[in-house]
Amino acid sequence: MSLDDNNEPWGAEWTRVVDVIAVGSGAAALTAAWAAAKAGSRVLVLEQAAFTGGTSAKSSTTIWIPNNRFMRARGVADPREDALRYMAKSGYPTRYNPDHPTLGLPEDRAPVGRSLRPKVWPGHRRGIDPGEGQIFIDRLQAAFEKLGGQVQLNSRVMNAIRNDAGDVVGLEARVGHRAEFIGARQGIVFGTGGFLHNEPMAAAHLRGPVLGGAAVEGSRGDFARIGMQLGAQLGNMTQAWWCQSLVELAARNRATQRDVYVPYGDSMFMVNRYGVHALNEKAPYNERGQVHFTWDATRREYPNYLMFWVFDDVLLNGPLADDPRYARHRFPTPPRGELREYIISAPDWPGLVAGIRVRLAKFAAHTGGVTLAPEFEANLAHTLERFNAMATEGRDLDFGRGEAAIDRFWSQEARPGARAGWMHPLSGQGPYYCILLGPGALDTKGGPVTDERARVLSVDGEPIDGVYAAGNCAASPAGQAYWGAGGTVGVAMTFGWIAGRLESRAW
C-alpha cells in the first residue's frame, strides 16, 4: 500500500500525505516510527543526512532500563520505588524532597544490571565491521520498513505547517534544492537530536563553554527553533550529556569521532592549569565532564577548563598494552609502539611541562588562550608525590577513585598483579606523556518540554495537538543526571515508543 494516499481532501499543494511523520532516524525517531507502523499507521521518516542513525549510530547503543527482565531473570532486585528515588535525586537534586511520602533517602540499590547492550555476531571485527550502534539502527530500520514504513534521506525539516484553525498538520522539508510539503493525518514526532553544533545556541544556553563532542553535525537545534515558532516552552537548556574531548581533535572538527569515555590505565592522573589534581579519573564521563565548569570567583576563570592527563610509559608499552580485553576502551591511548600527534611526550617531567606550554601556544585560538600557571611545575611535582603515595595503598583520599562499583568496572590495570586496578604509582623513570582535555558532550539534552505522554507543551502548559518529541531534541526527563550507561538511548526509545503508540491511536 502506497504511502501517498489520495491527497485531494488536503489540496493539490501537498507533496504527499501520510498518517505519521517521524523526523530524524536515530533511536528516538525510529522507535516512534516502528511503534506507529506496528499499530497500522502509514509512516514516513524524514532524515536530513544522506544516511540513517544520527548520533545513535555512533554509539554503543547501550539501553538503560531499570528493573528490566534480564535483571529479574538473574535475581537482581531493582524495586520501582528505589529506582525512582535514585532517578529523582540525581536528576533534580535541588528540587528533590526527601520528606515526600513517595521519595525516601536516595539510594542506588541496583548498581549493576540496568544497562543493556546489543550483541554482535561471532567473529565481529571491531573497527572494521559496523559498530553496535550502526547494527542496532540497521535492525530497527529493517523492522520498520518490513511494516511498510518508508525512510526519505536528504530531507531537512524547515517549518511546521498549521491549518486555519492553528492545528499542526504537516511539515515543510527541504529535499535537495526543492521544497516538499508533507501532511500528517495523525501526528508528527521529532527525534532530531540536540543543538551541540549550533555554536551560538550552545554558547547562549549551556552551563559552560564546550569544545565539541560526538553528536553528528546535524545536531543544530532545528526542533528548538521550530518548537519556539509553535509556542512551545523550553526546558533543561543548560544541560548536556557531558564528557571530555581531546582539545586537538575538537579544534579540527567540533563534531568529534570519539571522546574520552574511559580514561585507560592505572598509572595516570589529571591536573588543571595550576598542576592541581581536581577529579576522580574513573568517575563516569558525565560527571568528569562537569568538572571543567568549576568557576573560581576570585580569579574569575574556569581553572579546570582544560585538564592535563599525564601518564607513564607503561600505559603505552607495558605488559598488558596488547591485551584484547582493554582494546575497546584504550582510546585515546594508542596501540603499542604508536604515538599519535595529540600526545605530548618527553623523557622527564621538566621536558613534559615545556612541551605542554608549546602545545598550548599552538592551540591558543581554540582555548581562549589558556596557559600554564607559574606554579604548575611545582604543584605537579607535589601532586605526583601524593598520588604515588595514595596509589601504593590503593586508596584515593582526595576523590575516592576506585571506591564506587562503576569506577572499578571501568578500571584497567596496566600490569599483571596490580594491587588496585584503578590506580598505580607512576614510574620513577620516563618517558612521560600528556593529552590535553577540554569540556565536551555527547549531545545537548534541552529543548521543547514534553509531558509523560511525549506531547510537546506550550508555554501555557497545554499540549500542542499532534506534535510529539523524544530524545535529545526535547527537554530530557533526566534533568542534569546521566543515570547510567545507555541513559540517553533508554529515555529516547521509551518516549519514542510512547509517541508512536499515541500518534497511531493505539492507546
How much of the chain exceeds pLDDT 90, in percent?
68
pLDDT tens-digit series, residues 453-500: 999 999 999 999 999 999 999 999 999 989 877 888 889 999 999 999
Instruction: Indicate the DSSP class of residue 38.
Output: H
499 φ, ψ (degrees, to nearest 5): -60, -45
CATH class of residue range 250-441: alpha beta
Cβ count near 83 (within 10 Å) = 18
What residues does each domain of the chain span? Answer: 18-62+117-239+445-503, 67-113, 250-441
pLDDT tens-digit series, residues 185-221: 999 999 999 999 999 999 999 999 999 999 999 999 9
Burial class from Cβ neighbours inside 10 Å (0-12, 13-18, 19+) for residue 46 reads buried
Whether pLDDT at 402 is above 90: yes
The CATH H-level (homologous superfamily) assignment of domain 18-62+117-239+445-503 is FAD/NAD(P)-binding domain (3.50.50.60)
Confidence of residue 120 (pLDDT cuts 50, 70, 90): very low
Task: List Cβ neighbours of 119 (8 Å cut-off, separation of 6 or more).
Answer: none
Task: List Cβ neighbours of 425 (8 Å cut-off, separation of 6 or more).
Answer: 267, 387, 388, 391, 392
pTM for the structure as a whole: 0.87
pLDDT tens-digit series, residues 403-428: 998 888 777 777 777 777 899 999 99
Residue 418 identity: A
Specify the range with the lowest mean pLDDT, choosing from 59-63, 65-69, 113-117, 167-171.
113-117
Q: Tell me, what's the pLDDT at 110?
A: 43
Is residue 500 within 8 Å of residue 35, measured between CB atoms?
yes
pLDDT tens-digit series, residues 275-332: 999 999 999 999 999 999 999 999 999 999 999 999 999 999 988 888 777 777 788 9
